[in-house]
Amino acid sequence: GAVDADKAIEYRQGVFNAMKWHFGPMVGMIKGKIDYDAADFERRAKLIAALAQMPQEGFAEGTDAGDTDAKEEIWENKEKFDQGMKMMVEKSAALAEVAKSGDMAKIKPAFGALGKTCKGCHDNFREE
């Protein structure tokens, strides 16, 4: 049967909120506002890489209306949106891999690349 829009919106927002929960302390470590803890950073990077695989299915057809900042453009340009989701999956996997090294010179650009994939979809597909 059809996906319940309210449930789908709650689902995808829950996933993004969980990603944000982990992303925040990582930003702090990258910026030097929190002491860098390699094991904790790696743990969070792995969780984000897992979570990144989850939101896409929450944007099923018919889940555009409700308490959401998701723009109609998502469903009008679903291929472009799905490509952005794929980039998020790939860049988060790359970050989780490089996080094992504990080498900030490698981690910073990988983290920046992931952040760009967040921002790319927000600019195109999310209400301000």
Binding residues (CB under 6 A) for ligand ASC: these are 20, 23-24, 27, 115, 118-119, 122
Instruction: Enumerate the β-bridge partners of residue 126.
Output: 70
**Minimum separation from the CB atom of position 27 to ligand ASC (A):** 6
Q: Nearer Cβ to ligand ASC, position 27 or 62?
A: 27
Helix crossing, 78-99 with 104-125: angle to 10°? Answer: 160
Shortest Cβ 98–ligand ASC spacing (Å): 17
Q: How far apart are CA 75 and CA 97, in angstroms?
A: 32
Question: Given the complex with ligand ASC, which of 28 and 62 has the nearer CB atom?
Answer: 28
Of the two residues 20 and 78, which places its CB atom closer to ligand ASC in the complex?
20
Instruction: Give dist(CA 70, CA 74) in Å, integer.
Output: 7
41: number of Cβ within 10 Å: 22
**Rounded least distance, CB 17 to ligand ASC, Å:** 9
